[in-house]
Amino acid sequence: MDAQLYKEFKIVEKAFWSEICENNIRIGDHTHCFMTPMDAAIFNFIYLRQGATESSFQQASTLFTSQKKNHILVLPESLLPEFEEIIKNAGYTGDGMTTAMYLTLSDAVYPAYRNNPCDIILTNHNLAQWAHPLKTAFPVGDDSEDTIINEYIRYHQKALDNGATIFHYALLVEGQPVSSLTLTIHDKLARFDDIGTDIAYQGNGYATHLIKHVLEFCREQGVERCFLDASADGLALYRKFGFKSLFNYLSFIKE
């Protein structure tokens, strides 16, 4: 793994989560906690980096469990041999794998897409438009879905009110928001989050159109490198733009 790329990924990752989460707590040099008032696991994280120790992990885990907060533990796949037994004994269960990816903008490729009629707007003034596609793109699957979306809007609005350099985009079809993307810019680095399309509109090239638009904006802003955290479903799409894999993240949940 390229040490400089890894460092840049962690810098912009922290820039995003530090703005969104109400509390961010550092335990040692390689363990970071991001915590919100919500008990939902998707809003509370422990991140372990290369060099994390069992002691720092146990402190972080205790921080959440003492408050009865559901949370997700995220660590590079390379740390699994060292932490697998520790994680299992602490009561965590596997929650999947994602891939950290990067794109040097000078190497970007812009794939062809269906030129379906649509509009792309910046929705920092109306985050409900940005959040609308996320309801079906990333379904929670229970009665708390509206509460979770509303809380996510609130966290993003608070970040904007505090001056965060975060841009919320929505792609509209006949005035209806169907795709979303969140862009965080930190110096000459950028990060994409919340890339999703309403399930009823998937397969029409809308996400491709939206990503192309935002990459062009990044170039105009002098961004040199863009990062994201991709699920298996998104890998093929991002690779079309020239995104390359950096490392794999493993997630474990405790509820």
Neighbours of 117 (CB within 10 A): 7
DSSP-assigned states of every residue in 161-228: HTT--EEEEEEEETTEEEEEEEEEEETTEEEEEEEEE-GGGTTSSHHHHHHHHHHHHHHHTT--EEEE
User: How far is C-alpha 242 from the geometric centre of its chain's CA atoms?
Assistant: 19
What does DSSP say about strands 45-48 and 93-104: parallel, antiparallel, or unpaired?
unpaired
In a domain, 38, yes or no: yes
Q: CA torsion angle for 131, 133, 139, 141 (degrees, to 10)?
A: 80
C-beta separation of 100 from 231 below 8 A:
no
Domain boundary residue among 100, 133, 151?
A: 100
CA–CA dist 169, 127 (Å, integer)? 9
- Taking the model in full, what pTM does it have? 0.92
30 with 50: CB under 8 angstroms? Answer: yes
* Tens-digit pLDDT string for the chain (255 aa): 789 999 999 999 999 999 999 889 999 889 999 998 888 888 899 999 989 999 999 999 999 999 999 999 999 999 999 999 999 999 999 999 999 999 999 999 998 877 778 999 999 999 999 999 988 756 555 556 678 888 899 999 999 999 999 999 999 999 999 999 999 999 999 999 999 999 999 999 999 999 999 999 999 999 999 999 999 999 999 999 999 999 999 999 999
Other CB atoms within 10 A of residue 90 CB:
17
What is the residue range of 177's domain?
A: 104-246
**Which of these three, 100, 116, 139, is where a domain ends?**
100
Q: What is the pLDDT of residue 37?
A: 85
Amino acid identity, residue 214?
A: V
CATH for 111: 3.40.630.30
Residues 187 and 218 in one domain: yes
Do residues 137 and 236 both lie within one domain? yes
pLDDT value at position 248? 97
For 184, 192, 240, the CA distances from 111, given in Å and listed in that order, are 23, 18, 6
- 117 with 237, same domain: the answer is yes
Do 72 and 139 lie in one domain? The reply is: no
Total domains in the chain come to: 2
Specify if 255 maps to a domain.
no
